[in-house]
């Protein structure tokens, strides 16, 4: 019964996405290939001093990405450090150094890991001028990098891969802002809060009194999901009734998270001149998503715990208004898109259900991944898959007509090395360095044993994949975790970006090998299967020992 | 893919391995043992990062095992002392097997190199001092009134580039060079293995000679074209021995992937104990190193260089020498094949297939005239005319006193003058027309039109027209008709070209024929495109055009004027019979001078890449089973729930680890034959090939180790203490 419900819910989401797939994908294709600037874009280019018709080499493009991001980190850090003196601070004090660094790194990298509790830490100015701005531009940076990589595949014998400033501006102004404005109004209409009322004292039914924070939630909520950011206005994130009051807002928020990553495969297909190539990537993403979703529904519905037998499933940490299916769908979406928003508490899932969310991230966030980052991640994995399997048809492997040689392989191999290494080393150091171990055991961990271990693993997996969700039983606002996770989000974001942009550069320089019947097809079912297998096996092999010590040891019963 | 059951897969692998297993494999393994042992030198191991890690692991465990003897309580982690010893020994064997694979591959080349080396012995050379090409091209010497040249005897090793030597019948040719004067039959069996002598002559495309081959008859003057120690044979020896073998781009790319996987697994394994400490568990160093070796791609790491050497070797077996491994890989990537028509697609000789009469001429008349004029013609074409006439019932006798008129380049026709005064001529259309008008006969326009008509229809059908004319005893000249000579397409080529097409390779025929003829033959042979009336520069232009479209082009060539095209092509196969300029320009040399072999070369290139990919896939897929063996073994005691993962039902922690590591070593040896022989390759579309190889090496790679480890465990559990 629960499966029927799950399949119907999945089908509902899939069919809505199917309807918007072509229009949105084609629209984004137009945005990134158009030669014309809009009038307000011309003003922006004039202010920042960019010649919009001048394309950049991969090195210049990369300098743009890194320079812009570094500046963003500094601005966001400073804003927090001086917030007390800014207007609309709601009286909150300046944020401490490690936490400010952690938050700045987290929002600039599109992670939105929140070591702080937003309701009691940040005023409106930092939320708006700092976090909300980053919610837009960090998402735009991810999309820009993905588009640059796609240009690498699409172009032949080209030294340039586009102009970062143009991509960034257009993505923000033409894609993220318009959708956000429209959807914010719809969310408000459906009951999401939007005001500047500050703190309101209310008397509860039971006669107690409570202080409830109010604020401009709906406007933040949209870009939180649309840009796969995930940093909630409230600590409770999308399980908070102000952020996500009912089934309809829940559905819309899931769709907002998925729409751009999914439709980007169409944009990709259009740009490389074969939409079937995009379908193949989408096929792999969908397969991974569907398997994850069904796994989590299974784990939550059929656990051995006698209480769940009575309630019909493991309902701890889940909102009654969403139930197992819609919590599972939201969680799968959020962990599969690098959003990290939650409408249920992942820490409270069964061991194996929580593991599914971890695995979604461990796969490298490709089901369907964050905005832009999902596309470039799966493209890199496609390069690896093509390399291994392509040899088996007896040719030097090629993907989309580009030969995968030593240089391309170096970029791709380093790419899939970064995230797992960051995670396992991060977790290992947390328990190996004496001061870190002490801090983790004494302060951070509320649970002991395998589950406590899982919480730390989840934190590092979430950080290195720029997801931002948490096994929230962990107290992460400690000097060690603030710093280590801050470093993890930076490594997990920018090392891959450097490799991807470099890869784009070397691909763009190549000529295109014409496709023949001797070419390995990358737009059919066999390739989808292969891609899923390669993504799965690489992360499975890397994380098996870690998972065995955490959720598997906790959840498996002999 | 989905239809393949585990059983099929196992059978397929078994048959692949069996097919590739030659009987002498066991012998070769033993023979190569000394070489394999020599490779244990860490400076040598360093070049193979995957196996180097195993080497370090083995060395470390050996030291640990020794240390455990002295302090068993502190270091043994509660495991029996001999456990570390056994694991260390298995690791040493893993390294040995990898070295053995390489040594065996190299060993096959060594035998060949030794044979070649014998031809390289220093021979006395007759060097010409003051060679005078003008006055004394044949070096008859001053005493006979010729130029100032003289002959001195020097050892062949002293010959320099540009020296001129005289080689007489019975002499070994002292070095690579071009014949600048004379003609000789040469025994090249030392290099090609072909015992029939070949003709080499100055000027033209058969002028190159190779050092170490023997002149059987006549006397030739040779200009040396090699530097000392850089002869063709020297290069061959270096190639087949695999000396200074350079990694190809694809090998480097694969190395990058394998190294990255190795680094990841190294870090993963290093991080296990810190992570385990969080939950109060810990794993012994012995088990950790065993796990590391199981996870890093040792199978492909051990066999990678053997695969490359064996690929080169397979070419050598077919008497093709590649100047680099890169060329073989490029052969696998080729998308366009340029094939010369004559000798490659068709037999060198044309066959008469039809007689076409002109109006007013009796059919028997032309048959008789054509046959008579060919009686004394010993060329295959001439003989085929006689054969065809006989088949049509014509009885032919030699005619006393008839005088044969041989073919000359000037007249471009041949014929027969009969004692009766009759003259018969056959030749190209324009030549006969010329002859007819010269003889002053007024031939009607109608007849000429009819002749052109026949000629054209013959050309259209892909034939070569041979016009037959006759001057009667009375002096009247008549054109009798046209003999149709047909190019005969070699048997089985059509099918091979169809295979090529399935593999995504376009075949292009290059011919000097006119476009009509070319089109007809192209159609008959089933090639995709043709270049008619081709001049060498046309070939070059075509290659450049294809390459600008991103195609990779392979071609064969032998003449000096082929050199630019050979150099431009991605895979240029020079015929050994060709000029040294051609051989320099190409990146492969075919010792048999068989241009059809280009197709084999492409297949060998593909097979090499497929083998590499298949074993990589197999190696990575193996890891799943090894995890399922070792992870429960590491943590089951503390977390009994993990016992669920022990799907193979392995006996104990120790037996699980040992079984996995033994499987890891044994699989290398089992796959050596496959690495050397190459994965079976059939010309099919990429999709079918991929589907097949994925189900065998991907699915098989997952299933085989589960079964293998389980079987090994059945034996390992018998060891006391396990």
Closest partner CB to B256 (pick from A396, A406, A516) = A406
Alpha-carbon span B630 to B287, nearest angstrom: 8
Which pLDDT value is given to residue B476?
A: 81
Residue A381: its chain B contacts at CB < 8 A? none
Strands annotated E in A172-220 = 199-203, 209-213
Residue A189's Cβ-count burial label (10 Å; 0-12, 13-18, 19+) is exposed
CB atoms within 10 A of CB B304: 28
Q: Tell me how far CA of residue A393 lies from CA of B376, B553, B614, B688, in angstroms.
A: 55, 18, 9, 9
Closest partner CB to B639 (pick from A387, A409, A553) = A553
With beta carbons less than 8 A apart as the criterion, state whether A95 and A80 touch: yes
Shortest Cα distance, chain A CAs vs residue B504, angstroms: 4
Least confident of A291-300, B143-152, B437-446, B460-469: B143-152
Give the mean model confidence (pLDDT) for residues A397-411.
94
On whether the B330-345+490-591 domain is CATH 3.20.20.70, my answer is no
Give the class (CATH, top level) of B124-226: mainly beta
Residue B254: its chain A contacts at CB < 8 A? 387, 391, 409
With beta carbons less than 8 A apart as the criterion, state whether A513 and A402 touch: yes
Which pLDDT value is given to residue B244?
A: 61
What letter does residue A443 receive in the DSSP assignment? I
- Supply A67's token pair: 């320079």
Alpha-carbon span A57 to A412, nearest angstrom: 20
Question: Residue B607: closest CA among chain A residues belongs to which residue?
Answer: A394
Which pLDDT value is given to residue B485?
A: 85
B426 is in an annotated binding site: yes
Q: Which chain B residues in 431-450 lie under 8 Å from chain A, judged by CB atoms?
A: none
Residue A511: its chain B contacts at CB < 8 A? 550
Shortest Cα distance, chain B CAs vs residue A247, angstroms: 38
CB–CB of B617 and A389 under 8 A?
A: yes
Alpha-carbon span B334 to B573, nearest angstrom: 13
B5 shares contact with chain A (CB less than 8 Å): no
Q: What ipTM was reported for this prediction?
A: 0.94
Handedness of CA B649, B652, B656, B658 (dihedral sign): negative
B413 is in an annotated binding site: yes
Give the class (CATH, top level) of B349-483: alpha beta
Query: Is B600 known to be catalytic?
Result: no
With beta carbons less than 8 A apart as the criterion, state whether B353 and B484 touch: yes
B27 shares contact with chain A (CB less than 8 Å): no
In degrees to the nearest 10, what's the CA dihedral of B523, B526, B529, B530?
-60
Least confident of A92-101, A266-275, A544-553, B200-209: B200-209
Which pLDDT value is given to residue A316?
A: 86
- Quickly list H helices, B318-426: 325-333, 363-375, 380-391
Alpha-carbon span A500 to A164, nearest angstrom: 14
Length of chain B: 722
Least confident of A30-39, A253-262, B577-586: B577-586
b/e per residue, A97-135, with b = 16+ CB within 10 A?
A: ebbbbbbbbbbbbbbbbbbbebbebbbbbbbbebbbbbb
Which pLDDT value is given to residue B64?
A: 92
Residue A503: its chain B contacts at CB < 8 A? none
Query: CA triplet B587, B589, B595: central angle to 5 degrees?
Result: 110
pLDDT level of residue B177 (50, 70, 90 thresholds): confident
B84 is in an annotated binding site: no
CB atoms within 10 A of CB B135: 11
Residue B276: its chain A contacts at CB < 8 A? 549
- Quickly list H helices, A202-341: 217-226, 247-271, 275-301, 306-311, 323-336
Alpha-carbon span B164 to A409, nearest angstrom: 51
CB–CB of B623 and A449 under 8 A?
A: no
Shortest Cα distance, chain A CAs vs residue B704, angstroms: 17
Give the mean model confidence (pLDDT) for residues B538-546.
89
Q: Which of these, A47, A40, A32, lies nearest to A375 by C-alpha position?
A: A32
Alpha-carbon span B476 to B58, nearest angstrom: 98
B16 is in an annotated binding site: no
Higher pLDDT, B282 or B349: B282
Highest mean pLDDT among A242-251, B113-122, B476-485: A242-251
Element (H, E) at A504: helix A479-509
Element (H, E) at A458: helix A449-464
B409 is in an annotated binding site: yes
Which neighbouring-strand residues pair with A222?
A: none
The rounded mean pLDDT for chain A is 92
Which pLDDT value is given to residue B21?
A: 45
Closest partner CB to A514 (pick from B278, B550, B697) = B550
Interstrand relation of B571-575 and B553-557 (parallel, antiparallel or unpaired): parallel
Higher pLDDT, A458 or B202: A458
- Supply A506's token pair: 């070397």
Least confident of A139-143, B20-24, B186-190, B372-376: B20-24
B623 shares contact with chain A (CB less than 8 Å): yes
The model's pLDDT over A350-400, given as tens digits with 9 standing for 90+, comes to 999 999 999 999 999 999 999 999 999 999 999 999 998 889 988 889 999
The model's pLDDT over A220-236, given as tens digits with 9 standing for 90+, comes to 899 999 999 988 888 88
The model's pLDDT over A445-466, given as tens digits with 9 standing for 90+, comes to 888 889 999 999 999 999 999 9
Is the preceding omega at residue A368 within 30 degrees of 0, hence cis? yes
Which pLDDT value is given to residue B3?
A: 41
Shortest Cα distance, chain A CAs vs residue B684, angstroms: 8
pLDDT at residue B719 greater than cutoff 80: yes
B407 is in an annotated binding site: yes
pLDDT level of residue A107 (50, 70, 90 thresholds): very high
Highest mean pLDDT among A420-434, B120-134, B174-188, B354-368: A420-434
pLDDT at residue B265 greater than cutoff 80: yes
Domain extent listing, chain B: 6-110+239-319+608-716, 124-226, 330-345+490-591, 349-483
With beta carbons less than 8 A apart as the criterion, state whether A408 and A506 touch: yes
With beta carbons less than 8 A apart as the criterion, state whether B313 and B104 touch: no
Name the residue range of residue A147's domain: 2-555
Alpha-carbon span B610 to B615, nearest angstrom: 8
Alpha-carbon span A463 to A107, nearest angstrom: 11
B213 is in an annotated binding site: no
Which pLDDT value is given to residue B88?
A: 96
CB–CB of B277 and A533 under 8 A?
A: no
CB–CB of B260 and A414 under 8 A?
A: yes
Question: Residue A404: closest CA among chain B residues belongs to which residue?
Answer: B253
Q: Which positions ≥6 away from B338 have C-beta within 8 Å?
A: B508, B510, B531, B539, B542, B543, B553, B554, B555, B556, B565, B569
Given the structure tokens 């999309």, which residue do they identify? A143
CB–CB of A406 and B631 under 8 A?
A: no
CB–CB of A394 and B623 under 8 A?
A: no
With beta carbons less than 8 A apart as the criterion, state whether B514 and A476 touch: no
Query: CA triplet B26, B27, B33: central angle to 5 degrees?
Result: 95
At residue A242, the 3 state secondary structure works out as coil
At residue B424, the 3 state secondary structure works out as strand
SS (H, E, C) A57-124: EHHHHHHHHHHHHHHHHHHHHHHHHCHHHCCCCCCCCCCCHHHHHHHHHHHHCCCCCCCCCHHHCCCH
pLDDT at residue B23 greater than cutoff 80: no
Query: For chain A, what is the domain count?
Result: 1
Alpha-carbon span A391 to A545, nearest angstrom: 30
B51 is in an annotated binding site: no
Which pLDDT value is given to residue B17?
A: 45
Question: Residue A408: closest CA among chain B residues belongs to which residue?
Answer: B253
Proportion of chain A above pLDDT 90, given as a percent:
74
The model's pLDDT over A21-80, given as tens digits with 9 standing for 90+, comes to 999 999 999 999 999 999 999 999 999 999 998 999 999 999 999 999 999 999 999 999
Stated pTM of the model: 0.87
Shortest Cα distance, chain B CAs vs residue A177, angstroms: 40
Q: Tell me how far CA of residue B620 lies from CA of B617, B654, B699, B703, in angstroms.
A: 5, 23, 11, 12
pLDDT at residue B72 greater than cutoff 50: yes
B153 is in an annotated binding site: no
pLDDT at residue B440 greater than cutoff 70: no
Given the structure tokens 């009734």, which residue do they identify? A241
Which pLDDT value is given to residue B18?
A: 45
Residue B260: its chain A contacts at CB < 8 A? 413-414, 416-417
Which pLDDT value is given to residue B24?
A: 66
Side-chain-side CA neighbours of B373 within 13 Å: the count stands at 28
b/e per residue, A46-80, with b = 16+ CB within 10 A?
A: eeeebebeebbebebbbebbbebbeebbebbbebb
B525 is in an annotated binding site: no
Q: Which of these, A260, A259, A262, A323, lies nearest to A296 by C-alpha position?
A: A323
The model's pLDDT over B214-253, given as tens digits with 9 standing for 90+, comes to 888 888 888 888 887 777 777 777 776 765 677 888 999 9
Give the mean model confidence (pLDDT) for residues B168-182.
85
B478 shares contact with chain A (CB less than 8 Å): no
CB–CB of A431 and B275 under 8 A?
A: yes
CB–CB of A392 and B690 under 8 A?
A: yes
B649 shares contact with chain A (CB less than 8 Å): no
With beta carbons less than 8 A apart as the criterion, state whether A76 and A90 touch: no
Q: Which of B136, B187, B340, B570 is catalytic?
A: B340
Alpha-carbon span A552 to A539, nearest angstrom: 16
Higher pLDDT, B512 or A534: A534
Q: Which of these, A484, A486, A483, A506, lies nearest to A494 by C-alpha position?
A: A486
Q: Which positions ≥6 away from A543 have C-beta within 8 Å?
A: A359, A362, A420, A423, A424
Which pLDDT value is given to residue A302?
A: 85
What is the per-residue DSSP string for B393-412?
T------TT-EEE---TTT-
B182 shares contact with chain A (CB less than 8 Å): no
Residue B257: its chain A contacts at CB < 8 A? 384, 387-388, 409, 413
Highest mean pLDDT among B212-226, B342-356, B553-567, B633-647: B633-647
Residue B635: its chain A contacts at CB < 8 A? 548-549, 553
Side-chain-side CA neighbours of A463 within 13 Å: the count stands at 32
Alpha-carbon span A17 to A20, nearest angstrom: 5
The rounded mean pLDDT for chain B is 84
pLDDT level of residue B193 (50, 70, 90 thresholds): low
Q: Which chain B residues in 527-566 lie under 8 Å from chain A, judged by CB atoms?
A: 549-552
CB–CB of B1 and A520 under 8 A?
A: no
b/e per residue, A340-355, with b = 16+ CB within 10 A?
A: bbbbbbbbbbbbbbbb
CB–CB of B689 and A542 under 8 A?
A: no
Size of interface A-B (CB pairs under 8 A): 219
Closest partner CB to B606 (pick from A388, A394, A456) = A394
Residue B634: its chain A contacts at CB < 8 A? 545, 548
CB atoms within 10 A of CB B392: 12
The model's pLDDT over B667-700, given as tens digits with 9 standing for 90+, comes to 999 999 999 999 988 878 888 889 999 999 999 9
Which pLDDT value is given to residue A79?
A: 93
């Amino acid at each position: 019964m629960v499966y029927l419900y799950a399949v119907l819910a999945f089908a509902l989401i899939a069919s809505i996405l199917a309807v918007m797939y072509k229009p949105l994908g084609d629209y984004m294709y137009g945005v990134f290939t158009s030669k014309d600037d809009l009038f307000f874009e011309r003003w922006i280019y004039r202010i920042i001093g960019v010649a919009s018709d001048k394309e950049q080499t991969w090195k210049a493009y990369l300098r743009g990405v890194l320079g812009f991001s570094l500046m963003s980190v500094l601005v966001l850090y400073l804003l927090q450090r001086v917030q007390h003196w800014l207007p609309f601070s709601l009286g909150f004090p300046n944020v401490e150094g490690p936490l400010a660094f952690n938050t700045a790194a987290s929002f600039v990298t599109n992670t939105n890991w929140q070591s702080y509790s937003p309701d009691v830490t940040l005023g409106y100015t930092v939320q708006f001028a700092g976090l909300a701005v980053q919610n837009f531009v960090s998402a735009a940076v991810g999309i820009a990098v993905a588009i640059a990589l796609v240009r690498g595949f699409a172009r032949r014998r080209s030294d340039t891969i586009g102009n970062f400033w143009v991509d960034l501006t257009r993505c923000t102004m033409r894609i993220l802002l318009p959708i956000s404005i429209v959807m914010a109004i719809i969310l408000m209409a459906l009951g999401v809060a939007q005001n500047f009322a500050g703190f309101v004292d209310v008397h509860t039914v039971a006669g107690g009194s409570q202080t409830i924070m109010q604020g401009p939630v709906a406007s933040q909520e949209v870009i939180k999901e649309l840009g796969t950011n995930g940093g909630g206005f409230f600590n409770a994130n999308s399980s908070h009734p102000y952020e996500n009051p009912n089934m309809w807002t829940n559905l819309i928020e899931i769709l907002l998270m998925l729409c751009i990553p999914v439709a980007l495969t169409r944009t990709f297909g259009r740009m490389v001149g074969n939409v079937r190539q995009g379908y193949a990537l989408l096929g792999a993403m969908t397969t991974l998503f569907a398997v994850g979703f069904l796994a989590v529904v299974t784990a939550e519905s059929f656990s051995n715990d006698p209480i769940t037998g009575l309630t019909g499933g493991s309902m701890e940490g889940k909102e009654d208004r969403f139930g197992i299916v819609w919590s599972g769908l939201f969680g799968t979406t959020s962990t599969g898109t690098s959003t990290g928003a939650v409408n249920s508490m992942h820490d409270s899932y069964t061991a194996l259900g929580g593991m599914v969310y971890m695995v979604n991230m461990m796969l490298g966030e490709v089901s369907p991944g964050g905005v832009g980052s999902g596309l470039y991640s799966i493209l890199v994995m496609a390069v690896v898959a093509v390399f291994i399997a392509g040899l088996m048809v007896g040719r030097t492997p090629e993907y989309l007509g580009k030969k995968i040689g030593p240089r391309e392989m170096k970029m791709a191999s380093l790419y899939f090395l970064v995230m797992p290494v960051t995670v396992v080393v991060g977790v290992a150091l947390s328990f190996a360095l004496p001061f870190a171990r002490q801090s983790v055991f004494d302060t951070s961990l509320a649970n002991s044993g395998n589950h406590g271990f899982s919480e730390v693993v989840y934190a590092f997996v979430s950080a290195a994949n720029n997801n931002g969700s948490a096994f929230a039983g962990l107290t992460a606002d400690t000097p060690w975790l603030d710093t280590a996770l801050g470093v993890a989000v930076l490594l997990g974001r920018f090392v891959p970006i450097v490799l991807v942009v470099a890869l784009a550069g070397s691909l763009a320089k190549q000529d295109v090998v014409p496709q023949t019947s001797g070419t390995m097809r990358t737009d059919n079912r066999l390739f989808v299967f292969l891609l899923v297998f390669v993504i799965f096996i690489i992360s499975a092999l890397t994380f098996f020992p870690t998972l065995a010590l955490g959720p598997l040891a906790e959840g498996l019963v002999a | 893919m989905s239809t393949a059951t585990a059983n099929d897969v196992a059978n397929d692998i078994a048959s692949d391995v069996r097919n590739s297993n030659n009987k002498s494999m066991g012998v070769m393994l033993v023979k190569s043992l000394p070489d394999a042992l020599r490779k244990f030198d860490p400076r040598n191991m360093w070049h193979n990062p995957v196996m180097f890690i195993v080497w370090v692991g083995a060395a470390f465990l050996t030291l640990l095992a020794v240390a455990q003897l002295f302090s068993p309580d502190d270091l043994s982690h509660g495991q029996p002392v001999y456990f570390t010893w056994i694991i260390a020994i298995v690791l040493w064997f893993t390294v040995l097997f990898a070295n053995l694979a390489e040594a065996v591959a190299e060993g096959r080349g060594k035998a060949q190199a030794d044979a070649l080396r014998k031809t390289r012995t220093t021979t006395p050379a007759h060097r010409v001092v003051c060679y005078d090409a003008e006055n004394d091209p044949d070096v008859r010497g001053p005493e006979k009134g010729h130029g100032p040249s003289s002959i001195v005897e020097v050892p062949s090793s002293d010959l320099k580039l540009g020296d001129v030597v005289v080689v007489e019948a019975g002499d070994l040719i002292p070095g690579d060079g071009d014949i600048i004067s004379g003609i000789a039959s040469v025994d090249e069996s030392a290099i090609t293995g072909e015992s029939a002598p070949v003709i080499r002559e100055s000027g033209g495309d058969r002028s190159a000679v190779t050092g170490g081959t023997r002149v059987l008859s006549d006397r030739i003057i040779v200009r040396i074209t090699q530097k000392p120690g850089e002869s063709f044979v020297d290069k061959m020896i270096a190639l087949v021995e695999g000396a200074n073998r350079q990694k190809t781009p694809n090998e480097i790319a694969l190395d990058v992937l394998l190294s990255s996987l190795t680094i990841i697994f190294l870090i993963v394994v290093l991080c296990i104990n810190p992570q385990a400490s969080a939950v109060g568990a810990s794993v012994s160093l012995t088990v950790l190193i065993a796990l590391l070796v199981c996870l890093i791609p040792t199978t492909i790491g051990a066999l990678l260089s053997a695969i490359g050497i064996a690929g080169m070797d397979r070419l050598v077996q077919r008497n093709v020498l590649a100047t680099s491994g890169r060329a073989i890989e490029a052969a696998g990537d080729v998308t366009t094949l340029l094939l010369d028509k004559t000798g490659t697609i068709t037999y060198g000789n044309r066959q008469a297939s039809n007689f076409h009469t002109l109006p007013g001429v009796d059919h028997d008349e032309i048959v008789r005239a054509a046959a008579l004029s060919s009686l004394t013609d010993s060329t295959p074409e001439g003989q085929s005319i006689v054969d065809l006439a006989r088949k049509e019932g014509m009885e032919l006798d030699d005619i006393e006193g008839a005088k044969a008129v041989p073919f000359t380049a000037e007249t471009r026709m041949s014929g027969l003058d009969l004692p009766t005064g009759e003259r018969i001529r056959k030749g190209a259309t324009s030549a006969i027309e010329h002859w007819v008008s010269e003889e002053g006969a007024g031939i009607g326009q109608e007849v000429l039109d009819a002749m052109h008509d026949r000629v054209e229809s013959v050309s259209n059908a892909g034939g070569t027209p041979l016009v037959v004319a006759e001057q009667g005893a009375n002096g009247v000249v008549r054109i009798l008709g046209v003999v149709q000579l047909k190019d005969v397409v070699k048997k089985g080529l059509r099918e091979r070209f169809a295979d090529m097409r399935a593999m995504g390779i376009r075949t292009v025929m290059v011919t000097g024929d006119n476009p009509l003829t070319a089109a007809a033959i192209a159609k008959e042979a089933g090639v995709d495109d043709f270049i008619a009336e081709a001049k060498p520069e046309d070939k070059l232009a075509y290659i450049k055009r294809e390459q600008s479209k991103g195609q990779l082009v392979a071609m064969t060539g032998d003449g000096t004027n082929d050199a630019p095209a050979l150099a431009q092509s991605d895979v240029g196969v020079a015929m050994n019979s060709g000029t040294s300029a051609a051989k320099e320009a190409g990146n492969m040399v075919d010792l048999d001078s068989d241009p059809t072999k280009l197709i084999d070369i492409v297949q060998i290139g593909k097979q090499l890449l497929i083998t590499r990919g298949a074993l990589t896939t197999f190696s990575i897929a193996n890891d799943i089973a090894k995890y399922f063996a070792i992870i429960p073994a590491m943590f089951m005691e503390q977390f009994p729930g993990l016992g669920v993962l022990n799907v193979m039902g392995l006996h104990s922690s120790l037996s699980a680890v040992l079984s996995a590591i033994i499987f890891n070593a044994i699989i290398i040896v089992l796959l050596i034959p496959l690495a050397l022989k190459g994965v079976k390759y059939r010309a099919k579309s990429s999709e079918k090939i991929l589907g097949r190889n994925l189900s065998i090496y991907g699915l098989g790679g997952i299933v085989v180790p589960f079964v293998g480890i389980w079987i090994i465990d059945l034996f390992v559990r018998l060891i006391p203490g396990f």
